[in-house]
Amino acid sequence: MSSARSIVEDLDLEVEFDAPIGAEMTWYKVGGRADVLVRPRSVEALCSLMRRCNETGTTARVLGSGANLLIADEGVDGIVIHLDHAAFREVSTIHRHRVHRAGVEGRAGDAMRVMAGKSLERLVMSAATQGLSGIECMAGVPASVGGAIRMNAGGKFGCIGDAVVAVGCINLNGDLVVHEGPDVTFEYRRCSIIDPVILWTELALTADDPARTHAKVKEIFAYKKQSQPMAANSAGCVFRNPPASDGSGRLVSAGELIDRAGLKGYSVGGASISERHANFFTAEPGTSANDIIALIDHAAKVVAEHSGYELVREVVVWKRH
């Protein structure tokens, strides 16, 4: 703790020691505390913080919206960084030549630069209101923009990586680096960026009729509301969809595998597998993180025994080192 204090003491940060991040800052509303929680007030302060963490070997974790995160009951060590200051929620329009990823045609025009702390849900609604098309597929996805880029968030309607033309990051040395479109690979639930902090992204959006963009957002949100337990305490899909065993390259629904294994409604303590969508695990008030972890491990074991598929967690679990 003393080393962490020396790292943060003279930087432009809001600092909280022994912060209750699990119960208050994740969608599961369970889990332990962070030894140190910091909210940088500027990009410069964040760069200095990352540099000091690297020099001292201090673990630094970036907390987004907490929608895809489970904090262990014993909490986490090191420094947790939350980018919720206004400086990390800004959105601006810039004029530049769009550098798209390989296989996507590039053209000159305006792009939207969005800081990583911006709420993806609010960004989707704002773009729709302005008649900007390209990210309607993200309707109903709870995330910060940085977290969405990190895991290439999305679903059956598309992924955020489809709209990305550049990503700004901070590397381990605290330096600013920019990855242009062709340098970033987006795949199912992952991107190729290894820098510890995603700072901003540029999105290529197309002018459209606001009524049409709003209608598309409402349609996608209504579908998700009907098929997913969106009102419950959960972290979205628990497992990634595995590749089919026939080598076709298609993905098999993890939810269907869990359902076929007879696990819908199965519970451990206050944690349950949703009756509505088997890849959503919900938590009742008072549930422990250990209950949820035990339920995740049990589901993976039963599915492997039943179908032979090895499920990989999509939900991120933070524990002490």
Catalytic site residues? Answer: 189, 237, 314
Rg for the chain, CA atoms, rounded: 20
Residue 14 Rama label (left phi>0; alpha psi -120 to 50; beta): beta
How many C-beta atoms lie closer than 10 Å to residue 266's C-beta?
Answer: 17
Q: Which amino acid, residue 190? A: R
Length of the chain: 321
